[in-house]
Amino acid sequence: MRVDEICDRLCSLLQEAVLRNLSESLLLSGGLDTSIIAYIASQYTRLKAFTVALNTSSAPDVEYAKMVAGKLGLDHTIHLFDERDFLSVIPIVIKTLKTFDPMEIRNSAPLFIALREAKERGTGSVMTGDGSDELFAGYSFLFNLEKSRLEDELIHMWSNMSFSSIPLGKYLNVDVKLPYLDPNLKSYVMRLDSGYKIRNEGDQIWGKWILRKAFERMIPEAVAWRVKMPIEYGSGTNLLTGLFEKRIEDSEFEERRRRYIEDDRVIVRNKEQLYYYEIYRSAIGVPQRTRHGKSCHLCNSDVPEVTKYCKVCGAYPT
């Protein structure tokens, strides 16, 4: 099948997917995935877009989201949060997701803040770009895999997809809609040859190549070919890792870390994770192995046999 035929089919399926999941609101990062949804949805509704970022950072998401919102004429809200707001939502994120994985929390806290902002502005449902990176091979660790290994990794990923936006939305009573997981689109993309997903363009290797080609003339070029960026970097929350270095003394960290190894058989990797673990421990309890089989070597939690990653503490590989 020719590239232009695949692009046409993707455009058609995505349009149908967005229409079946159409909401008045969208969490807009200014990345490829949410910008495509914004482009399609804005043709059918007066779309409200929400972008959040740490107020002390030069968060890349803000400028890209402004570019998209301006081009499409969106009703765009940019909410800048501070360290205090970030810290205040951490207990909710930890209790809801049942994790003390620092990367998950840095990604999910701004997501929670964005969902809350949408809710406070009267929104009952919100679209997100979740699922695109999994379906179209957007993660850089996939880029240099031999083809059969890549396709095995994708199949494994598809069987273990989960997105924090869903439980966080339920907590807030916000209906989170994921157009990329629309059954018709999902089925088509899963059957699509991986050679269309990861490919060189110019001097660079790109994930989601076919998705970029399909929409490169419909959204700003800088967005269509924007490098994949985790939420923690796009929103600036990655800069908050240093916050915990200031809050916890070295000697205090070592004493508490040693105590949790001895008492809980949990290995805390750094000060940031110590802060999260103590909230987790208080709210949920000490991680426990509850069945025979695979368990995490750092926190002793159950880990599914087919999984390489511990969702409780973030250990990789397990």
pLDDT in tens, 68-102: 999 999 999 999 999 999 999 999 999 999 999 99
Query: Each residue of 158-173: pLDDT tens digit?
Result: 998 999 999 999 999 9
What local confidence, expressed as pLDDT, does residue 307 receive?
A: 83
Backbone torsions φ then ψ of 243, nearest 5 degrees: -60, -40
Of the CA atoms within 13 Å of residue 164, those in its CB half-sphere come to 25
Q: Which domains does the chain have, with CATH numbers?
A: 3-238 (3.40.50.620), 248-318 (no CATH)
CA gap 157, 99 in Å, rounded: 20
- The owner of tokens 């995490």 is 296
Question: What is the rounded average pLDDT of the residues 4-21?
Answer: 98
Query: Each residue of 226-284: pLDDT tens digit?
Result: 999 999 999 999 999 999 999 999 999 999 999 999 999 999 999 999 999 999 999 99
Residue 175, beta-bridge partner list: 125
CB-based burial label for 85 (10 Å; 0-12, 13-18, 19+): middle
pTM of the predicted model, to two decimals? 0.95
Backbone torsions φ then ψ of 107, nearest 5 degrees: -80, -35
Q: Is the pLDDT at 317 greater than 90, yes or no? A: no
